[in-house]
Amino acid sequence: MNKLLLCLLLITSTAQATTIPVAASDVAQSWDGIYWFLVYLSLVFFVGIVAAMIIFAVKYRSGVYKKPKYIHGNTPLEIIWTVIPTILLFVCFGWGWQVYKEMIHAPSDSMEVRVIGKQWLWQFVYKNGTSSVGDLFVPVNKPVKLIMSSEDVLHAFFIPNFRVKKDVVPGMYSNVWFEAKVPGIHQVYCTEYCGTSHSGMLARLIVLSEAQWKDWLSGKKIDVDALPADPTFPGFRANRLGEGMHDAQAGTQAGGQLSLADKGKALVSSKGCVACHSADGSKLVGPSYKGLYGREEKVVEGGKTVSVNVDDNYLRESIENPLAKVVEGYPPSMPPYKGLVNEEELAAIIEYIKSLK
């Protein structure tokens, strides 16, 4: 029975090796290294323990040999079975921690893409103002940082081939990054139940060569269906297109449109923000946008002065609920804009503020 169990385990491991999603990013390759290390380490211990069980069961079976001598203790053996697992535990922890740190800290030169989740589709907004629904276009061998938010309920953005997953939460920004290594089409899922059509909330991540990426940015149509598709999910291309979702570039606005920052500039003017906030560093009713993003700001929160880092989530909160954290030295006079700006408009305004160095 034990031999049969071992054979089944080996067969299962071999099958998994042929069906595991392709490692299409640096992060995926790093995580797969840890995964297979743990699989083979477990296999070694499994074989060793089962082999010892079989040997002792046969050697000391009842009615054949006398009862073995009672052993009170064995210090070297106890040291070995304590020290070796402890070392392996620290190896696993250190390795996992290193990969985790790499996964959560995007390189400074990452290309940023805004991701908006809504029942039941994914929308992608690029810095140049291009917007696509159901298809995320990225260049190969270029770090890409996704800044994600939800318009309605909790979603989760998952790319199996890249081994990255992150919750997409209403009212805040979360982010994840990757560097695509395999050109072609990769599947994207929502992995947080979000309502009736949750299972149909799919998207395609389309990794383009450098030349194709330049063509796409300039507004040229890319023959997406001619690109290699992920063999791990056979048929997903046909299934997705058959569900009435957008095709390769449906919903895409490319070529000649305003950049995301320019859209934000127009919005702060049309929404009346320029009456209280300057773009050149001059002090008005509220703090200037110039040089604001990324710096430490002293704010009054709950009657106490604290320092906060001006990031995407801080700017979002300051727009939607400005009285939560009031910048020290300024009056609490800004009205809340929650419900008055949508996710796309928030993304544009924040991108505009970020552009004012």
Tens of pLDDT, residue by residue over 281-337, are 888 888 889 999 988 989 988 888 899 999 999 999 989 888 888 998 888 888 888
The answer on pLDDT for 127 being more than 90 is no
Backbone angles phi, psi at 204, to 5 degrees: -115, 130
Phi, psi of 167 (to 5 degrees): -70, 140
Residue 10 has what pLDDT? 47
Q: How many other CB atoms are found less than 10 A from the CB of residue 218?
A: 10
Q: pLDDT (tens digit, 9 = 90+) per residue, 221-239?
A: 877 777 777 655 544 443 3
Exposed, middle or buried, 295 (CB in 10 Å: 0-12/13-18/19+)?
A: exposed
Q: Which helix (H) or strand (E) holds 31?
A: helix 26-59
Name the phi and psi angles at 317, rounded to 5.
Answer: -65, -40
The residue with greater pLDDT, 255 or 262, is: 262
Residue with tokens 């000391």: 60
DSSP-derived 3-state class of residue 321: coil
Give the distance from CA 214 to its chain's centroid: 25
Task: Kindly report the backbone phi and psi dihedral angles of residue 146, in degrees, each rounded to the nearest multiple of 5, phi listed first.
Answer: -100, 125
Residues β-bridged to residue 45:
none
- Model confidence over 65-99: pLDDT tens digits? 666 677 777 888 888 889 998 999 999 999 989 88
155 has a pLDDT exceeding 90: yes
| Structural domains for the chain | 2-104 (1.10.287.90), 111-241 (2.60.40.420), 260-355 (1.10.760.10)
**Best CA proximity match to 126, nearest among 134, 135, 117, 115:** 115
Give residue-wise pLDDT tens across range 35-47. 888 889 889 989 9
Would you say residue 169 has pLDDT above 80? yes
